[in-house]
Each structure stands twice: as C-alpha cells, then as structure tokens.
Amino acid sequence: MTLLPSSPTPRKLGLVIDLDVCVGCHACVISCKEWNTGGYGAALSDQDPYGADVSGTFLNRIHTFEVLPEGGQVIGEAGEARIVHFPKSCLHCEDAPCVTVCPTGASYKRAEDGIVLVDESKCIGCGLCAWSCAYGAREMDLAAGVMKKCTLCVDRVYNETLKEVDRIPSCVRTCPANARHYGDLGDPGSDVSRMVAERGGYDLMPEQGTRPTNKYLPPRARKPLAASAGSAVLAENTDGAKGFFAWLDGMLDRI
Amino acid sequence: MHPAPSIILFTTLSGLGYGLAAVLGLGLLDASTLSVKIAHLAAPVMIAGGLLSSTLHLGNPQRAWRALSQWRSSWLSREGVMAILTFVPLMISAWFSVIEGRYLPAAGLIGTAMCGITVFCTAMIYASLRSLQAWNTGFTPLCYLLFAAAGGFLLAAVAGYSSGTGGTVCAAIAALFVVAAWIAKHQWWTRLRTLVPLSTPESATGLGNIGHVRLFERPHINDNYLTREMGFKVARKHALKLSKIAVIAGGAVPVLLLVVAMLSGVGAVTIVASVLAVGFYALGLVVERWLFFAEARHAVMNYYGG
C-alpha cells in the first residue's frame, strides 16, 4: 500500500554523510553496484557496457561541486574556492512523495524502520516515482523495466548469516575515509544522532517538504592557504634557531 | 523533462476524446442523427487509443492492471480507475444514441461529470509533483480542463454541422472555450517564466552558507536515466517561438475558422471550416503539450548543472 506509515516510524534507519571527510574516491559507488547487482531484486544493468556510450543503473552516485564564497577567487589551490565531493543516494524521506504517487503499491515505506523499498514484482515501470523525487534517488533499470533505488542494504543490515561487522550498508562498510555512517536517526542517543547534533547535520532541499532521514554533515571551516603561508616560507628565515643550528647558521653566514 | 511521444499523444488524444464525450453528454445535439452516432463511438475510441498509447512507455505493461489499486494516495491510480468507470455512462449514452436514437439525460450528465473528473485526475498527476515547480500549480488542471472542453465543443461543432442541427451553438461555445483556454495557458506561461526557483544548487547541496555552488564534475561522463529523462533542454531555446506557434495554430486559426462556419450557417463550408478548426487546434495542442514537458525543469537538475 502506498500510503505512508504513521509518522514517525519507531526506528528511522538511515545514513549520515560527512562532506568534510569524503575524498570523492567513488569506492562506495562501486561497492553499492556490486552488492546490489547480485542482491535484492533485479540486477543493476548496464547499457552498451564496453562501448563509447556506456551508461547504467546506479543507486549511489558521487557529484563534485565547487563552492565559491562571496567575493572569493578561483586561483587553483590558492583561491578561496573549495571542492566538495558529494555522495548521494536515497534519503529514505519521512514524507516520501515517491511512495504516495505509486499507482500499483510497488513503492512502500516500511512501518518498522522507515526504509523505502520497491516491490519489483508489482512495479510497472511507469517512472512517476522518479519524477516525484527531487533528489534523483530512483533510476529505472532499462533491462528489467522496473524502478531501482537504494535499499539501505536491507539484505545486509538484518542478515544474520553475515558477521556482525558486515551488517551495515555496503557503501558504509567500504568507505576508506569513514565518510559514511549508518544508524537509527530516530534514537537521539545513537552515534549518528549525536554526530548530527554536534556537527550541525542538515537536510537536503528542506523546501521540498520531504523530511529526509539521511543527514549531511557540513565541511568544517577551512583555514585559508594564505594563513599557513608564514610557516611555509621559513626557508629564508633562521630567527629563533638554537644550539647546533644557531652555530651552523652563524658559521655559514661568515664564510 | 523529456517529452515522451506516447504521453503527449495520450494527453492530447484522450483530452479531445473526453471533451467530445462530455459535450455529447450535455444533449445539445440530435442523438438520432448519423454524425452524432459516429461521434458517440469516436469519443470512446479516442479515449481508449490515448490510454493504450500511455501504456507504451511502461517498463512492464503486462502488470498495468495493478495501477488501479492505489487510488487512495496516487493521482495516476485515480486517473486509471476513473478512466475505466467513465466508460460505463459513455457506453450507455452511445447505446441509446446508436441503437435507440435518443438522448438519455441521466447517463449523459453523469458521463459529462465523470469525464471532467478524469481529465482533472490526469492533470493532477503533473500538478501534484513538487519536484516540478512549473507544473505544481492550480493553473495546470485549469488548463487541462479548458483545453478538453474547447476540443470537445470543436468536435461537437463538426458533428452538429454534419447533422444539420446544433452546429452553431457548439461552434460559439467552442470559440469561447478556445479563448478561455489560451488565456489560462498564457497565465501558466507567465508564471513559469517569472518563477523564482524553489530549489537551487545551494539548497540541493546545503552548501549555500559557504558560498555559490557550481557543479564541478558529474558522477559519470555520460548521460544516465535521470539526465535523459529529466535533463531535456532543447525546447527552452525556442520556447517563445514554439508557444507563439501553439497559440496561432491552436487558438487564432480555429477561432477564425469557427467564425467563418458560424457566418455561413449551413452547408459544406461549415463542415470544412469546423473540420479544419479541429485539425489546427489538435496541432496547436500537440505543440503546447510538447512544451509542457520540454520546458519544465526538474529539481534534480540542481545536481547535474542543468
């Protein structure tokens, strides 16, 4: 049934993504594709996989943005512009429009933990849920003709045949920089909730009224490169040298 | 948004079909005449043709029947349910016209109301999407309803002139609805072209408090489903030109032809003029529907530099 469960769900499973830490390596993209092409539902197909016009279904993609402060300049590494790598997958919204627009009941939000899923045996591939999602979290698989989306690795997180350490989403398990975190955002005492509270975690496009579960942690304020310049160009300056170096400095000045 | 030909054909064809069925339900024409009998059969055929073409863009059309189940939350499901239910009064009206040669007010008026509700549901599929700010307005269902009514009276004028009675009444009302529809559409376009975007790259990334956000690299070099489906930009370059073409073909020319028909009163001129009016109107409507999709900017494009 594509009515949303009574809000809030007892648990709100989701991700917290740290934009300060993500290095844009795309390892989560690959591990997501690998796990989910053999896991829940139809495989994630590629079209023209070895040709010039390759494309395919992905549930998690990394965008890269340049952010330029007011009046700032882009001068390579020395300018004020900064690069932010931006992983994006389904946000498992509380008011998920992709669920309510579904005409067949294929799209649903689980009442117990808030995970948004697609029952592929009911999906007619009309694409309306992808239209309704402002975040681009849903992609139609062109081979299977059904809608694919992040399952929050529902086939891992409850999977008792896996070691406990692996019972987290594939992208979180893989991230070499530890930029992705998984947990219950409905529990204020959980690690992810505390992280959100401490770092000022925020929603994407709150104006769309979707109330996303996933949160993003902002990049920390950056020290401008110019501020580090003093120590970086000490090569010409021997002020404050002591002991052997002071003697060597003096001797070399004399000869 | 990518303007899929199957959806453009569906909304145009079924809109004309529902419009014609709704006007026939008002009983303005003589139900015993051959041309009105043909109209009673043509309307359901146009509607069914539109519905069938809309299933062409489905990934798994064999499960389309499931789309009737979620009417409590989904406008698409409501449209499907209403489309099927509406066939009942339309078929009864058609039976009474074709077989018994008379108009049954109860079936006719119920059919008219249900046609209106179905077109409203179709429009609400689009108007309910917040991710598409261009469509997310009450003007969207208003335009769909007025265009359906205008098309219905235009087609009814053809049937009326062919049968010899009721043509001028339908032509006059058609002219009024054509003008009203394009005035509403003008308001829709004015709103679209002066929109302040609800979502921006800054709100989409949440990085606006640091500064101006610009896409540096896409996730992949090539297009994907999202950019193909929602990243269509060709129309925006020619949008103004195309909207003028739509207004002239779908508005000015049909009204002129209707005036010619009304002044002639009877005879072959009225039939030719009203048929031409329908043809031009349909052409204008296809351009309008193409722009409806092609001009709409989806919020996801904030992540793709579009």
Inter-residue contact A63 to A217 (CB < 8 Å): no
For position B232, what pLDDT does the model report? 76
B70–A102: do the CB atoms touch at under 8 Å?
A: yes
Domains defined along chain B, listed by start: 5-303 (1.20.1630.10)
Taking the mean position of all CA atoms in its chain, how far away is CA A24? 10
ipTM over 0.90 threshold: yes
**Which residue on chain B is closest to A203 by alpha carbon?**
B206
Count of CB atoms within 10 A of residue B204's CB? 26
B52 vs B46: CA distance, rounded Å: 10
Count of CB atoms within 10 A of residue A3's CB? 14
Nearest to A115 by CA among A214, A208, A43, A35: A214
Q: Which two tokens stand for residue B55?
A: 């299933």
User: Counting one residue from A and one from B, how many pairs have CB atoms under 8 Å apart?
Assistant: 203
Inter-residue contact B112 to B22 (CB < 8 Å): yes
Mutate which: B217, B218, B228, vs A, most A CBs within 10 A:
B217
Q: Which two tokens stand for residue A141?
A: 């698989």
* Statement: residue A84 has pLDDT above 90: yes
List residues bridging with A68 in a β-sheet: B212
Q: What is the pLDDT of residues B125-149, one digit of tens each?
A: 999 999 999 999 999 999 999 999 9
Domains defined along chain A, listed by start: 13-228 (3.30.70.20)
B74–A127: do the CB atoms touch at under 8 Å?
A: no
Q: Give contacts of A22 with chain B, Cβ < 8 Å.
A: none
Query: DSSP 3-state assignment of B171?
Result: helix
**Which residue on chain B is closest to A125 by alpha carbon?**
B59
Which residue ranges of chain B lie beneath pLDDT 50?
A: none
A144–B59: do the CB atoms touch at under 8 Å?
A: yes
Interface list for B 259-278 with A (CB within 8 A) = none
Mean predicted lDDT score pLDDT of chain B: 94
Q: What is the pLDDT of residues B104-117, one digit of tens each?
A: 999 999 999 999 99
Q: Which two tokens stand for residue B34?
A: 């051959």
Nearest beta carbon to residue A67 from set B59, B60, B211:
B211
A70/B147: higher pLDDT: B147
Whether B305 has its CB under 8 Å from any CB of chain A: the answer is no
Q: What is the pLDDT of residues A44-56, one digit of tens each?
A: 999 999 999 999 9
